Amino acid sequence: MNKETHRMTTEATPEQPAQQRLPRTLTRDLNHHDGQTVRLQGFVHARRDLGGVQFVVLRDVSGVTQCVGKGLNLPLAESSVEVTGTVKAHPKAPGGFEVQISEFRVISAAVEASPVEIPKMEWNVNPETMLDYRVVTVRGLKERAALKVQAELVAAFRDHLMTEGFTEISTPKIVSAGAEGGANLFPIDYFGQGAYLAQSPQLYKQIMVGVFERVFEVAPVYRAEEHATSRHLNEYLSLDVEMGFIEDEEDVMSLENRLLASIMTRLKATSQAEFDLLGATIPDVPAHIPRISLFDARALVTEKYGHQVGGKDLDPEAERLLCQHYAETEGSDFVFVTKYPRAARPFYAHPDSNADGSLSSEITRGFDLLFRGIEITSGGQRIHDHAMLMDSIAAYKLNPESLSGYTEVFKYGMPPHGGFAIGAERLTAKLLGISNVRYARAFPRDRHRLTP
Amino acid sequence: MNKETHRMTTEATPEQPAQQRLPRTLTRDLNHHDGQTVRLQGFVHARRDLGGVQFVVLRDVSGVTQCVGKGLNLPLAESSVEVTGTVKAHPKAPGGFEVQISEFRVISAAVEASPVEIPKMEWNVNPETMLDYRVVTVRGLKERAALKVQAELVAAFRDHLMTEGFTEISTPKIVSAGAEGGANLFPIDYFGQGAYLAQSPQLYKQIMVGVFERVFEVAPVYRAEEHATSRHLNEYLSLDVEMGFIEDEEDVMSLENRLLASIMTRLKATSQAEFDLLGATIPDVPAHIPRISLFDARALVTEKYGHQVGGKDLDPEAERLLCQHYAETEGSDFVFVTKYPRAARPFYAHPDSNADGSLSSEITRGFDLLFRGIEITSGGQRIHDHAMLMDSIAAYKLNPESLSGYTEVFKYGMPPHGGFAIGAERLTAKLLGISNVRYARAFPRDRHRLTP
């Protein structure tokens, strides 16, 4: 940080002009100041008044530290305060150092006690209460750790893709029709016209392949799904990727493999403390994530674990068992499930090739990626040929007129392309062992929650 | 790029397995391959058939290059193709090199001629037609240059803020009430409940100051404003910043000053070609952007230019003249207009100090940033004291009950904080001299435009 940055971190008081004051020190840097006088700023995370002596646990963006003083008039927890004092090594204190307070200033006093004691919160305790008071509970160390990890994960996602020549795009979230056909859309009144919240940037990222060849977007998407489960959100952050001039879906899976490896490498460098706090482990990403076709995956789960899989896809238990198999046999937390049948994929999924080189009418080049028992990605190669797309729309018995906004761009020489999307909150939650995906979003929206 | 990346850039053909083919070369790298055989992929940007000889201008993500061959059956423009051939220096060709085609393959043929000839498009020609056919016109070199510059600008925004300890956040775009009071909101049907599209992450970024102290967000915001001008969009990408533990709004302006300098430095390194293409200049950012109070700015414009300023703010002509003044006298394309009157700011704007140290009832710590004649930022210090905020709500004759979702967090020791927001499209358009902000968004939404 430069000098100007330091200057901005405190309020002026008439007695002590800013330029004469100590620069602010972050709690994580106390180890560089043993025996010195420092100035800290932050929130009263916890406090204890033993009469003659007062303890304040100060929380700043970088951590918490115990401060001890005498004759202090302690404000309510969550008040923002400034502490000036001497750093002293203290093996039992969090972080290994304590600050002996010489000056204590309340910057902004809390006027009510927090409805939830921030240091005592635990995952899974009164989740609705935690979310009702999210404006203050989100300050909790574990709560913010999840969001911090997500910020790093998203930055790593972007940075890696830019090194592979991808361009970031921003596409409309107000749309006239749904990318997947029309179900599960939130209606908007757009100047009296009917419109919807986008459930995916699917079409737009495909259009932009015609512009930049390789694109990505990090933006919210919307699913008006009625279910209230621990793995769904009605608004979530979608990490979308689309790449052109591919050979087949293998190129897309290879990209995602490299991307995940890059993300985990960065998290090991930046976020180990957050993983430690949450008792979670950053996974190793194999150089080649195992692949198994959906057909073989269903058979494996039935044969090895005796689980009968319903439907056309994998059910949640089958996803869990398949991941258990690859964790045990190959030490991989990830597995690609490939070659999804047409019946389980949207009309734009590209058909797979038969052994004779012709195109399959049954099997697509669609894949899912499972991680620690749950699907975190859907992806695949898309149809790029206009005639093939129109045939597929007819085969799905969809109305080509209502999809004309989608099909238009395929008249203009779209190259073979494919992509995938990762739900940022779901990946964050699985990485950190958070049981409910809502805690991986700052202010979740679900079937019943529109505030805060 | 690693080997695997190269491998993924073409389709396999039975005659020539992928591993035996040349790696793909991008057109911008032809200067490294003079005299060599290369394999290019891209779109037919333009074509000309002179009978005995055919010219194809191939466009890929990195630029365009002229290719020449004989006996070719040229597909429609915008078809995606693969060219193998020999690179030859050719001073008159774009990029200085030409490729003599030995092998020409149509990857995906356009099935209709583009409704607009991509190489012949110019800004300001038939803007509605250009936007009607945006799925293909967005491939134009100037069109995509604007979006590429924006991608670099946004990346520079994030990267700079992360070096100053800011954390990226993702906040809800579905909200139960507007941050600014309720006007200009798009209504959503949220499972039968009334909700709105967020017009700003204002409250949420303030809440998150209580968590990470310094935060930013890059996300769409929504304004249901009826006007259709060249400077407004109904959906735009907002670059939002909020920082805590500040002294006053000067800290916020200093940050924005450093941030803009960092962005322009990056654009000079990454985007000079796009600026050249558009005939635009990347501005120098002064180490200290000039500041002038709104009161003095209005007087200056009247005294120097004889322009009477209506309303409480600056009108567009006054913004233009003020910028002209600072460009001429200080060589600065930027100027901060400070100390906005309360009457021109929302209820949460922090009051300025009077000379005696008391707080002003008339003047706030709000500011705008003007750039080349237009406002690109509103910002300021916000009220953090709960009692002061409640008083302000009463003074604005607003209903505290309807704002209780906003005021809640201020019970819990919020530190002094402030921030700003930059409209990404408006900044991009002004940087590049694009007259209509809609061309700085891939798929703009305006009063009459909901597609593509």
pLDDT digits 0-9 by tens, B75-94:
999 999 999 999 999 999 88
Q: Is A170 on the interface with B (CB under 8 A)?
A: yes
Q: What is the pLDDT of residue B19?
A: 59
Task: Note the pLDDT tens digit of each residue in B269-284.
Answer: 999 999 999 999 999 9
- Looking at the DSSP bridge assignments, the partners of residue B419 are B242, B380
Q: Cβ separation of A186 and B188 shorter than 8 Å?
A: yes
Domain ranges of chain A: 3-108, 134-440
Q: Is A300 on the interface with B (CB under 8 A)?
A: no
Nearest residue of chain A to residue B233 (CA atoms): A172
Nearest residue, CB atoms, B413 vs list A110, A172, A450: A110
User: Percent of chain B having pLDDT more than 90?
Assistant: 85
The annotation places the binding site of B for L-aspartate at 180, 223, 378, 382
Mean pLDDT rounded to a whole number for chain B? 93
> Nearest CA of chain B to the CA of A29: how many Å?
14
Check whether B15 has a pLDDT greater than 50.
no
Check whether B10 has a pLDDT greater than 80.
no
Lookup result for tokens 């106390």: A30
Q: Is A58 on the interface with B (CB under 8 A)?
A: no
Q: Cβ separation of B135 and A78 shorter than 8 Å?
A: no
Nearest residue, CB atoms, A139 vs list B1, B211, B255: B211
- Looking at the DSSP bridge assignments, the partners of residue B307 are none
Q: Cβ separation of B445 and A168 shorter than 8 Å?
A: no
Nearest residue, CB atoms, A80 vs list B14, B112, B415: B415
The annotation places the binding site of A at 180, 223-225, 231-233, 375, 378, 382, 423-426
Confidence of residue B177 (pLDDT cuts 50, 70, 90): confident
Q: What is the pLDDT of residue A125?
A: 61
Q: Is A29 on the interface with B (CB under 8 A)?
A: no
Collect all residues of chain A within an 8 Å Cβ-Cβ radius of residue B80.
Answer: 244-245, 413-415
ipTM: 0.94
Q: Cβ separation of B212 and A148 shorter than 8 Å?
A: yes
Confidence of residue B402 (pLDDT cuts 50, 70, 90): confident
Q: What is the pLDDT of residue B226?
A: 87
Q: What is the pLDDT of residue A330?
A: 97
Q: Which of the 8 DSSP states describes residue A125?
A: S
User: Candidates 2.70.98.40, 1.10.1060.10, 1.10.3760.10, 2.40.50.140; correct CATH number of B3-108?
Assistant: 2.40.50.140
Nearest residue, CB atoms, B169 vs list A255, A442, A445: A442
Collect all residues of chain B within an 8 Å Cβ-Cβ radius of residue A418.
Answer: none
Q: Cβ separation of B173 and A78 shorter than 8 Å?
A: no
> What are the residues whose beta carbons fall under 8 Å from the beta carbon of A20, sequence distance 6 or more?
none
Q: Cβ separation of A114 and B387 shorter than 8 Å?
A: no
- CATH superfamily membership of A134-440: Bira Bifunctional Protein; Domain 2 (3.30.930.10)
Segment B353-372 shows an average pLDDT of 96
Check whether B95 has a pLDDT greater than 90.
no
Task: Note the pLDDT tens digit of each residue in A208-237.
Answer: 999 999 999 999 999 999 877 778 899 999
Q: What is the pLDDT of residue A123?
A: 55
The annotation places the binding site of B at 180, 223-225, 231-233, 375, 378, 382, 423-426
Three-class SS string for chain B? CCHHHHHCCCCCECCECHHHCCCECCHHHHHHCCCCEEEEEEEEEEEEECCCCEEEEEEECCEEEEEEECCCCCCCCCCEEEEEEEEEECCCCHHHEEEEEEEEEEEECCCCCCCCCHHHCCCCCCHHHHHHCHHHHCCCHHHHHHHHHHHHHHHHHHHHHHHCCCEECCCCCEECCCCCCCCCCCEEEECCEEEEECCCCHHHHHHHHHHHCEEEEEEEEECCCCCCCCCCCCEEEEEEEEEECCCCHHHHHHHHHHHHHHHHHHHHHHCHHHHHHCCCCCCCCCCCCCEEEHHHHHHHHHHHHCCCCCCCCCCHHHHHHHHHHHHHHHCCCEEEEECCEHHHCCCCECEEECCCCCEEEEEECEEEEEECCEEEEEEEEECCCHHHHHHHHHHCCCCCCCCHHHHHHHHCCCCCEEEEEEEHHHHHHHHHCCCCHHHHCCCCCECCECCC
The per-residue pLDDT string of chain A (452 residues; one tens digit each, 9 = 90 and over) reads 333 333 333 344 444 555 578 999 999 999 999 999 999 999 999 999 998 999 999 999 999 999 999 999 999 999 999 999 999 999 998 889 999 999 999 999 999 999 988 998 765 567 888 999 999 999 999 999 999 999 999 999 999 999 999 999 999 999 997 655 667 999 999 999 999 999 999 999 999 999 999 999 999 999 999 877 778 899 999 999 999 999 999 999 999 999 999 999 999 999 999 999 999 999 999 999 999 999 999 999 999 999 999 888 999 999 999 999 999 999 999 999 999 999 999 999 999 999 999 999 999 999 999 999 999 999 999 999 999 999 999 999 999 998 998 999 999 999 999 999 999 999 999 999 998 999 999 999 999 999 99
Segment B52-77 shows an average pLDDT of 97
